[in-house]
Amino acid sequence: MHQSILVFRNFRYLKWALSVAAVSILLYVVHEPEYGLPNGGTLLGYVLGTFGALLILWLMWFGIRKRRYGAGGAPVEDWLSAHIYLGLTLIVVATLHTGFQFGWNVHTLAYGLMMIVILSGVFGLFAYLRVPELMTNNRRGMTLVQMMREISDLDTACREAALSLGDEINRIVLKASQNTRIGGNIRRQLSGDDPECATSEASRAVRHLADHAPPSQAEGFRALMGLLARKEELLSRARRDVRYKALLDIWLFFHVPLSFALLGALIAHIVSVFFYW
Amino acid sequence: MTERVKIAIVGSGPAGLSAAGRAAASGVSHVLLEQRDHISDTIYKYQKGKLVMATPDILPLRSELSFQIGIREEVLGNWEKQINGLKANIRYNSEVVAITGEKGNFTLKLSDGTTLNAEFVVFAIGLQGNIRLLGVPGQDREWVQYQLNDPDEYSDETIVVVGAGDAGIENALALTKQNTVVILNRGSEFARIKQGNLTAITAAIEKNQIECIYSADTVRVDDDGIVVKTPQGETKVKCDRIIARLGALPPRKFVESCGIKFPYSDPSSLPELSGQYESNVPGLYVIGALAGYPLIKQAMNQGYEVIEYIQGNQLKPADEPLLEQKFANIPGNRSVSEILAMLQESVPLLSGLTTLQLREFLLDSNVHAPRGGDVIFERNDYTNSFYSIVDGGVNIQIDPEDETKVVSLGQGEFFGEMGLLSGRRRTATVMASKPSLLIETPRRSMIKLINSVEAVKRVMDEVAVGRQIQTYIAPGIPLQDLQDLIRTVKVEKFEQGAVLFREGEAGDCLYLIQRGSVTVSREVSGKEAVISYVAAGNYVGEMALISNAPRSATIRAAVAVEALRLDGVPFQALMGRNEAVRRTIEARYRGRMLENIETTEQPEAGGIIQFLIEQGLGEATDVLLIDEALCVRCDNCEKACAETHQGTSRLNREAGPTYQTIHVPTSCRHCEHPHCMVDCPPDALRRNANGEVYITDSCIGCGNCERNCPYGVIHMAAKPPKKPGLLQWLLFGRGPGPGQAVSGKWGPDSNKEGGAPKPKKAVKCDMCKDVLGGPACVRACPTGAALRVEPSEFFRVVSQGL
Ligand SMILES: Cc1cc2nc3c(=O)[nH]c(=O)nc-3n(C[C@H](O)[C@H](O)[C@H](O)COP(=O)(O)OP(=O)(O)OC[C@H]3O[C@@H](n4cnc5c(N)ncnc54)[C@H](O)[C@@H]3O)c2cc1C
Ligand code: HEM
Ligand code: HEM
Ligand code: SF4
Ligand code: SF4
C-alpha cells in the first residue's frame, strides 16, 4: 500500500546523498595537496572535516527534532529518510577527510566511534524494515496485554482443571503458574524463548503422568493438557513479541550514547589538532 | 378539600426553581412539585464536585436566584438557601402523574393519590425522564438500586445487574473487579450496544468472570435474591445487591398525555410553544430543557419570565440584547421585533415559525452582509450550516470546470441544505451576486427546526430532492424538465446492514444516496463478497436499468442510509430525451463494469473494504490508519498527540482491530453525521471547512458526547499546567519529558497555578487544526506507517489493488 522509508519520496534523499559523495570523491581525486599525502590538514581536508562535523551535529539534532512535536517544516519521515542516507555518506566524507591516515590516536577514536554509530544505525534500519511485519503476523490481532491476560486466564483454568487430578498434578501446575516468566534480562528478551520455561516443564510432566493415570481421570487429563498446550503456544508468541520489541529498541541504546561519545571524541580531535599544529 | 393555587410548577430544576422563586417574590399563590426529596434532580445527579458552567457568558441572568460557575454542591446549596429564604411553597416527594382540566381549573394528580387544583400549570420537568424501575414486587427494596456512582464502593458481594444495555454492561464490568456479578439479559444476545462493550462483555462471559442469564424476565425481588423466568423455568438468583439499568422513560409520553402536541415522532422534535412559552393547551406552559433550552441559565430566565407572562406582564425576553447584537449589521435602525417580522416576511421558510422558535433559531444563527462577489462557501468545504437569503441573491457555480455556469437564487430562497443532508463536502461554490443579507444557521438548530416544524420539513424535502437530482444525475437540466422524475421520488430509510436491492432481482428503480453509504457485493462461490463502496451523493442501480438485465450486485447500507428512490420508467425516458445525461450515465456504467471485474479478481481487496466498513469507515470523512508492516511501535504518534494537546493523547495506537496489516487505532473518524453532536447542550461540537469535528471552549463537560460516540474516542480531561520546554527538560530535567505520562505536579489535577478547580471538559481529535503543518500523529511517524485517509479515496485505491 505504501512504501518503506528507503523508497520514500522516490529516493529523494538517496539522490542527495549520492551527490554529496560524488562531489567529495571528485574533489579528492582532483585535489593536489601542497605537500605530502592527502590528509585532514590540507585545504580539502579542512573542507571535508568541517562538512563532516556539521553533518554529525545535524544527525544528532534529529533526536531533538523528533521530540518537537508541534514543529512545522518537514515531517519526521523526511528527517529519518535523510538521516539514513546522509548518515551513510559520512563514511565517504570522513574517510576522505582522513586521507586514510589512521593510527592509535584520538582522531582515529572519533572515526571508529562514528563507524560504530553508523553500523548500529544500519542494524536499526534493518530492524525497522523487517520486524514490524513479523510482529504483526505473530500477534494475530492481539496486543501483548491481551496475550498476558489470556495467559493468566488459562493459568486459572489450569489450576481449576488440576483440582480433581491429585496432589502431584496440583503441585506441578501451581509451580508452573508461579515460575513462568515472560521477558527478563536483555538476553532473555532477545532470545525470544525460555529453555527452562516452567509451563513447558509442567506440560511434559503432566503428559508423563497422564500415561499412568487411571481411566477415570483420562478426561480431566486431556482437558488439562489442552489448556497447557494452549498456554505454551501463547507463551511462545508472547516471548516472540517481546523479542521483536527488543530488536526494535535495543540498537538505540548503542546508537544514541555512542553518538554522544563520538561528539566528545570529535571535540577532542578538533581541539587537539589545533594544539599540536 | 383539595388545595388550590394559581400557579402549579412541576419540577424543581433550574427552570422550575426560578419560576417558584419569582412567584414567591411577587406574592402569587403557587406550589412547586418535585418528585424527589431534594431540588434539581438532574444537577443533583452530576458527578460529585463537577464544575457547573454558566454558559453562554453573554446571556444576562434574570432570576430571583443567583447562579454562577461553581461546583455542584455550592450551586445546589445556594439555591436551597435562597429558595427557602424566599419562602417558596415547595412540596417534595410529589410526582405529578396526570393533569386534567382546562385553563383556570386544572387538576393535578400526584403519585400518592392526592390531587391539587391550579389555574395555570408550568411544566419544567427537564429531559432526563423517569428512571425505569423493575416493575415487579420488591422493586423498592433498599438494596435494589437504579444507579451506580462508584463501583469500587462494593466488594465481595454477589451483584445482579439487570439490563444489558451499555450502562448495564459498563457497570457489570466495573463491578467484576471486586465482586461476583450476574447480568440479566432479556434478549438471547447482546444487541445494539457499543462495539467495545460487546467485545468486553463477551470476553468476560467466556472467561466466566461474569455469568449471563439470557432471555430472562424478572418476576419478583425476594429477601435474599431475585426471581427470574427463563425458557427453562423460574429460578432464584441469590444476591446481595441488584443494580437495574433499564434506561429512562422519556418525559415526552407524560407531557403528551396532558394534551401537549409534538409535531414529529423524532426525539429531537420540540413541543410547539407561543412566544410566552404557552403550549397548544391554553394555560399549560413549558419551559427549560423540555422546551428546547438545554442550559441552566436559559432555563432560569424562562422560569422568571413565564411567571411574569402568566400574570399578564409584558417584558422583553432576556435574550433581547443578544439578538440586538446579532442584528447589528442589518441596515436601518429597526427594533428587534420589527426585524423579526421583516425576516418572516422575506423568508417564506421561516413564516411558519412561532416567535419563540424564530428567536431561538436566530440566537443560534449569524447574520452576514456579503458584498457582491464575496464567496460564501467553497466547493469541497466540509461546512454544514444552512443559509437563508433575506435580501439580495447568490450565484451557485454548478460546474467546477466552468465558473460562468451558475444557478441564481434570490430573496427568500435558501441553500446549503445538501451538505446538511449528506454530511459531506459542499458540492458547489456559492458567491453573493450583489450586496446581500444572509442568515447562516448551524446544523443542530436546523435539524431541530426540520424536526419540529412541519412546513420547514416539507419545503426542505421538496427543494432538496430536485436539487440533488440536478446535481448528481442531470446537471444543467432545468427543474421543469425533471418534474416527471421528481414526482416519483420517494425518500427511503435503511438501517445499517439492510438491503436496498439484491443480486438477481429485477431492477425497476435507481437509488440516489442522500445520506450514509452503501457496500456493493456479489455472490462468489456461495458467499457474499464485498466488491466496493458507494458514498452519499452517488447513485446505484443504474446498471440494471441500462442493460435491462437483473441486478448484478447486492447493495447494503453500510451505516444508516437515506436514499431517494427514482422510478425506472421516467428515468429511462429522461435518458432517451437527453443525450448528455445518457452519456454520463453510460460512462459511469462502463466504469463500474470495469471496477467490478477488477475487484472480483482481487478478493483480498473486498475483505479489506468489508473490514474497514465494520470499523465505521462507511460514515467517516477522515480516519487514521496504521500500516503495521511499517509501524515500529515507537508510539511517537501518541506522544505527538499528547504533546500538542494538553497532555492527553486523543488516539490509542495499540487499541483497535487489525486486518492483514491494516490497523484501525482508536481515534476519531470525523463522521459525516457525528453521533457525538446529537446531545450537546451548548452545541459545542462543531465541524469546520476542512471536515474536522472539534470541541469549542463552550463545552460544559456533561459527558453526553463521550457516551454517544460509538468509537470511544472522546475523553473527559482537565487542562494540565504548561510544561517547561524541551531544552529545559533535556538540560535541567525540569518537568516531564516529551510524551511522558503526566500526573502529580504537572498532571491535570494539579493546582500549581492556584485558583478554582479546573473543569473537566470533553477532548477529542481535532485533526490538529491549530498545529503547524497538520496532524501531528502523521507528521511524527518516522516510518510513514501512520496515515490519514479519506475513506472514499482510500476505498478506490484499495479496489484497484494495493
Ligand atoms: C451531566 C450533565 C452536566 C451538565 N452540565 C451543565 C453545566 O455545566 N451547565 C449548564 O448550563 N447545563 C448543564 N447541563 C444541562 C442542564 O443540567 C440542564 O439543561 C438543566 O438541568 C435543565 O433544567 P430544567 O429545569 O429544564 O430540568 P431539570 O434540571 O432536568 O429538572 C427537572 C426536575 O423535574 C423533576 N420532575 C420530573 N418529572 C416530574 C414529575 N412528573 N413530577 C414532579 N417532578 C418531576 C425532576 O426530578 C427534576 O428535579 C448538564 C447536563 C448533564 C446531564
Ligand atoms: C571541524 C572539523 C575537523 C577539523 C578541523 C579536522 C582537522 C583535522 C586535521 C588538521 C587533521 C590532520 C591531523 C594530522 O595530520 O595530524 C585531521 C586528521 C584526521 N581527522 Fe579530522 N578534522 C575535523 C573533523 C573530523 C571528523 C568529523 C572526523 C571523523 C569522525 C575526523 C577524523 C580524522 C582522522 C581519523 C584523522 C587522521 C588522523 C591521523 O592523521 O592520524 N576529523 N583532522
Ligand atoms: C554518525 C552518524 C549518526 C549519528 C550521530 C546518529 C544519531 C542519531 C540520533 C541522535 C538519533 C535519535 C535517537 C532518538 O533520540 O531516539 C538517531 C536515530 C536514528 N538513526 Fe541515527 N545517527 C547516525 C547515523 C545513522 C545511520 C547511518 C543510520 C541508518 C543507516 C541511522 C539510523 C537511525 C534510525 C533508524 C534512527 C531512529 C529513528 C527513530 O526511531 O525515530 N543513523 N540517530
Ligand atoms: S467523536 Fe466519535 S461520533 Fe464524533 S465524529 Fe469522532 S468518531 Fe464520530
Ligand atoms: S462537548 Fe460533550 S461534554 Fe461538552 S457539552 Fe457537548 S456533549 Fe457535553
Which backbone phi and psi does B699 adopt, to 5 degrees? -55, 135
pLDDT of residue A115: 97
- Mutation pick for ligand 4 pocket among B623, B671, B677 (CB with most ligand atoms within 8 Å): B671
Nearest to B726 among A64, A127, A133 (CB): A64
User: Is residue A117 within 6 Å of ligand 3 at its C-beta?
Assistant: yes
Ligand 2 atom closest to Cα of residue A102: 41
Cα angle B721-B726-B728, degrees, rounded to a multiple of 5: 85
Contact at CB, A128 and B771, closer than 8 angstroms: no
Q: Ligand 2: which residue has its CA nearest to atom 8?
A: A40
Q: Which of B644, B797, B802 sits opposite A69 (nearest CB)?
A: B644
pLDDT recorded at residue B754: 52
* Residue B751: predicted pLDDT: 52
- Find the B700 Cα to ligand 5 centroid distance in Å: 6
Cα gap B495→B191, rounded to integer Å: 14
- Say whether A2 and B787 touch across the interface (CB within 8 A): yes
Contacts of A139 in chain B (CB under 8 A): 658
pLDDT confidence band for B511 (50 / 70 / 90): very high
- Which atom of ligand 5 is nearest the CA belonging to B685? 1
Contact by Cβ (8 Å): B322, B58: yes
Asked whether the beta carbons of residue A80 and residue B783 sit closer than 8 angstroms, the reply is: yes
Which are the contacts of B83, defined by CB distance < 8 A and separation ≥ 6?
B17, B20, B21, B24, B39, B65, B90
Is the pLDDT assigned to residue B800 strictly greater than 70?
A: no
Q: Indicate the residue of B630, B633, B778 with minimum beta-carbon distance to A4.
A: B630
Inform me whether the pLDDT recorded for B802 exceeds 60: no
- Computed from CA positions of residues A90, A96, A98, A104, in that sequence, does the dihedral angle turn out positive or negative? positive
Q: How confident is the model at residue B135, as a pLDDT?
A: 85
Q: Is A3 in Cβ contact with B784 (below 8 Å)?
A: yes
Q: Which residue has the higher pLDDT, B265 or B439?
A: B439
Residue B756 has pLDDT above 60, yes or no: no
Burial readout B124-155 (b: 16 or more C-beta within 10 A, e: otherwise): bbbbbeeeeebebebeeeeebebebeebeebe
Where exactly are the structural domains of chain A?
Answer: 2-140+251-276, 144-247
Interface contact B191, partner A, CB < 8 A: no
C-alpha cell at A66: 523528533
Q: What is the ipTM of this complex?
A: 0.90
Single-letter amino acid, residue B283: G
| Residue B657 with chain A: CB contacts under 8 Å | 141
- List chain B residues with CB under 8 Å of A67: 726, 737-739
Q: Looking up cell 425497476, which residue turns up?
A: B508
Residues in chain A: 277
Cβ–Cβ contact B723 with A under 8 A: no
Chain A residues with CB-CB distance to B under 8 A?
A: 1-5, 8, 64, 66-73, 75-77, 79-80, 127-128, 131-133, 135-136, 139, 141, 143, 145, 153, 245, 248
Percentage, residues of chain B above pLDDT 90: 41
**Are A70 and B630 a contacting pair at CB < 8 A?**
no
Give the closest-approach CA distance of A277 to chain B in angstroms. Answer: 34
B700 three-class SS: coil
Residues 6+ apart with CB under 8 A from A257: none
For residue A82 and ligand 3, the question of a CB distance below 6 A is answered with: no
Ligand 2 binding pocket mutation candidate from A42, A55, A106, A107 (most atoms within 8 A of CB): A107
Within 6 A (CB) of ligand 4 lie: B 668-671, 674-676, 693, 709, 711, 713-714, 764
In the prediction, which pLDDT does B719 show? 78
Nearest to A44 by CA among A102, A100, A96, A106: A96
Of A8, A132, A139, the CB nearest to B632: A132
State which residue of chain A sits closest to B769, comparing Cα positions: A70
Cell of B157: 458481594
CA angle B153, B158, B162 (to 5 degrees): 90
Contacts of B524 (CB under 8 A, 6+ apart): B600, B603
Query: Cα-flanking dihedrals φ and ψ of residue A99, to 5°?
Result: 60, 25
Instruction: Give B71's strand partners.
Output: B51
What are the structural domains of chain B?
Answer: 3-129+249-318 (3.50.50.60), 133-246 (3.50.50.60), 334-452 (2.60.120.10), 482-601 (2.60.120.10), 617-718+759-799 (3.30.70.20)
pLDDT at B801: 55
Pocket test for ligand 1, best of B125, B146, B277, B297 (most atoms within 8 A of CB): B125
CB hemisphere CA count around B96 (13 angstroms): 29
For the ranges A110-114, B684-688, B796-800, the lowest mean pLDDT is seen at: B796-800
- Whether B771 and chain A come into contact, CB under 8 Å, resolves to yes
Q: Which amino acid is at A153?
A: D
User: What pLDDT is attached to residue B165?
Assistant: 85
Burial track B201-236 (b if 16+ CB lie within 10 A, e otherwise): bebbbeeebbbbbbebebbebeeebbbbeeeeeeee
Helices (H), B365-510: 417-422, 443-452, 454-468, 483-487
Name the closest-CA residue to atom 31, ligand 3. Answer: A121
| Listed residue (B432, B440, B393) closest to B412, CA to CA | B393
Ligand with an atom nearest the CA of residue A41: 2
Instruction: Give the distance (Å) from ligand 1 centre to CA of residue B772.
Output: 41
Cβ contact B658–A77 (<8 Å): no
User: How many interface pairs between A and B have CB atoms less than 8 angstroms apart?
Assistant: 94
Mean pLDDT of chain B: 87
User: What is the rounded average pLDDT of the residues B579-602?
Assistant: 81
What is the distance in A from the centroid of ligand 1 to the CA of B287?
11
Question: Is residue A203 within 8 Å of residue A173, measured between CB atoms?
Answer: no
Return the C-alpha cell found at B114. Answer: 392526592
pLDDT at position B9, please? 97
Q: DSSP alpha helices (H): ranges in chain A? A: 8-30, 43-65, 76-98, 106-139, 144-162, 167-179, 186-191, 198-211, 218-250, 252-275
C-alpha cell belonging to residue B661? 496489516
Q: Which residues of A touch B640 (CB under 8 A)?
A: 69
- pLDDT at B774 (0 to 100): 85
The closest residue, in CA terms, to atom 51 on ligand 1 is B702
Residues B754, B760, B766: CA angle, nearest 5 degrees: 115
Which of B680, B709, B764 has most ligand 5 atoms within 8 Å of its beta carbon, as the pocket-test mutant? Answer: B680
Instruction: Kindly list the residues from chain B whose CB atom is less than 8 angstroms away from the CB atom of residue A145.
Output: 654
Contact status of B200 with chain A (Cβ, < 8 Å): no
Cβ-Cβ contacts under 8 Å, A73 against chain B: 773
pLDDT at site B714: 93
Is a pLDDT exceeding 90 seen at residue B267? no
Q: Across the interface, do A80 and B207 touch by the CB < 8 Å criterion?
A: no
Closest-CA distance of chain B to residue A255, Å: 16
* Contact B698 CB / ligand 1 (< 6 Å): no
Neighbours of A103 (CB within 10 A): 8
> How much is the pLDDT for B1?
56
* pTM confidence score: 0.83
Chain B residues near residue A75 by CB distance under 8 angstroms: 773, 778-781
Instruction: State the pLDDT at residue B301.
Output: 94
Question: Which amino acids bring their CB within 6 angstroms of ligand 5?
Answer: B 680-682, 684-685, 695, 699-705, 762
Amino acid letter for position B305? E
Q: Give, for ligand 5, the residue of B297, B677, B705 to mutate: max count of ligand atoms closer than 8 Å to Cβ.
A: B705
Q: DSSP letter string over B202-263? A: HHHHHTTSEEEE-S-EEEEE-SSEEEEEETTEEEEEE-SEEEE---EE-THHHHHHTT---S
Contact map slice: B 643-672 vs A, CB within 8 A: 643-644, 654-655, 657-659, 661-662
Ligand nearest to C-alpha A277: 2
Tell me the per-residue pLDDT of B711-755, one tens digit each, with 9 for 90 and over: 889 988 887 767 666 666 666 666 666 656 555 555 555 555 455
For residue A179, the one-letter residue type is N
Average pLDDT per 10 consecutive residues for chain A, totaling 277 residues = 80 94 93 79 91 97 90 90 96 94 92 97 96 92 86 89 87 89 86 87 89 85 91 93 94 95 95 80
